[in-house]
Amino acid sequence: MQTSERILFVDDDAMVRSAFARSLRRQGFEVDLAGGEEEATRLVSEHQYAVIAADYRMPDIDGLNLVGHLRGFQPDATYMLVSGECDLDLALQAVNEFAVSYVIAKPWDIEELSSMLRRSIETHCEKVGQRKLQAVKMNATREIDAQRRSLQSTALATEASMAEVLLNTLNLRDNETRGHCKRVAAYAKLIADALGIKGQPLTSIEQGALLHDIGKVGIPDSILKKPDRLTDEDWQVMKRHTTIGAQLLDGIEAMKYARAIVLQHHERWDGGGYPSGLAGEEIVLGARIFAVVDALDAILSDRPYRPARDIDTAIAEIESCSSSQFDPNVVRAFLSIPKEKWLEIRVLYPDEQKLTVSSA
């Protein structure tokens, strides 16, 4: 077994320590040894351990109190108690009062011990992963709270200027965003006009399209700007931008309908989208319009894995997804608009050039 996860074994008997380390190192484990509380405390302050095992009978401190002491340094480690006593009361105390995962009898069976250690290392990795994910969520929540406080200071601004402030905030994270957001807002207005939508509903559709990705202010840069392909765990975090964006706009009455578009802009007509798996007319019309124009802009734009495609290809691809990914009524409205109109908008709102920093 090859692993970089460390194991710490604490026992006052040097011969027992050597036997423990020798048998486990043959199994591929990385083992550190300590003869008592002082040495163990020094080691846990210097290294992270997946598993910490302690002998019960030691002259300066018993194994249970040592576990309680070391847990203050490394709460995510899995703890084991090693004992030469077959004592049920001791085992129950270790598990119930000190959260010890395993009580190992001397002499131990190396195969059984190795199996316990592997499971313990897996448990440690899960704890660390959960803690990291929780930290990401907490940071995202702090960002949301900070942005909402910022919005409160602009409460007297007009709806249009408020949308611009939010877009500027997002643009600070990714300077390629503005052109895309401006284009999809203009595209959405074309389709809404074709559907006969006027007045405040039309304005709200434009705002929702403009702000669809505002929730990305709550996504860590390590994921938002990751140069490599996102992992499944990264995608789970990235998908949260729809709900983060909705939370950011929550309570702003003027943005009520735009908020629904922000929340639902990755839903699909056939129910295969996220975050809620809505289908058909369960999805607000503005989000159904946005789905079409977002696909249009994606097809007409360069991607790391392919160059931009032409307008005829985009139209054919969107038409082919009618009644599956897209609302067929929205697709019909889209098809009624001359393709020159789409190209005019692309010229009007080009992608902003990436900022470059000199290495000098």
Round to whole Å and give the CA distance between 207 and 182: 10
Q: Cβ neighbours of residue 277 under 8 Å, at least 6 residues apart?
A: 267, 271
Query: Is the pLDDT score of 174 beyond 70?
Result: no
pLDDT recorded at residue 151: 57
Round to whole Å and give the CA distance between 317 and 225: 28
- Spell out the domain ranges in the chain: 6-127, 157-348
Local structure of 150: helix, strand or coil = helix
pTM over 0.85: no
Query: Is the pLDDT score of 175 beyond 90?
Result: no
pLDDT recorded at residue 302: 84
- Among the listed ranges 33-37, 340-344, 351-355, which one has the minimum average pLDDT value? 351-355
Residue 324: how many other CB atoms lie within 10 Å: 11
Q: Contact at 8 Å (CB) between 101 and 202?
A: no
Highest mean pLDDT among 198-202, 204-208, 334-338: 334-338
pLDDT recorded at residue 315: 96
Q: What is the mean pLDDT of the chain?
A: 82
The larger pLDDT score, comparing residue 166 to residue 215, is at 215
At the topology level, CATH places domain 157-348 in: Hypothetical protein af1432 (1.10.3210)
pLDDT tens digits for range 226-281: 878 888 898 999 999 999 988 888 877 777 888 999 999 999 999 999 999 999 99
Superfamily grouping for domain 6-127: Response regulator (3.40.50.2300)
Residue 141: how many other CB atoms lie within 10 Å: 13
- Percent pLDDT > 90 in the chain is 32
Highest mean pLDDT among 3-17, 133-147, 207-221, 324-338: 324-338
Query: Is the pLDDT score of 316 beyond 90?
Result: yes
pLDDT tens digits for range 53-92: 888 888 888 888 898 899 888 888 888 888 877 677 777 8
pLDDT recorded at residue 197: 95
Query: Is the pLDDT score of 284 beyond 70?
Result: yes
Kindly indicate the confidence band of residue 7, based on its pLDDT and cuts at 50, 70 and 90: confident
CA distances from 184 to 192, 205, 279 (A): 12, 10, 22
- Asked if omega into 338 is within 30° of 0 (cis), the reply is no
